[in-house]
Amino acid sequence: MSEYLVVYEKSSNGWGAYAPDLPGCIAVGDTLEETKALMREAISMHVAGLREDGDPVPEPLAQYETVQVA
């Protein structure tokens, strides 16, 4: 089982998400909770599609850091 970093961004009309290690794997929703559920589904489908096509599944390498500013 792999764990991929997912970035969630608030927009003027909802939420968007993407996984940096899975180019093209995105989701959008009206609420953060909806977007999280859609993103879990999108990642599963994306990885399954790569495997079905015989393409390599990228390793989860993205990292994050939060930076405090004054």
Q: Whole-prediction pTM value?
A: 0.90
Q: What is the pLDDT of residue 66?
A: 96
Q: Describe the strand order of the beta sheet including 7-11 as a list of residue ranges.
A: 7-11, 14-18, 26-29
Q: Are 61 and 22 in contact (CB under 8 A)?
A: no
Altogether, the residues listed in the chain come to a count of 70
Per-residue model confidence as pLDDT tens digits over 22-42? 999 999 999 999 999 999 999
Per-residue model confidence as pLDDT tens digits over 44-70? 999 999 999 999 999 999 999 999 999
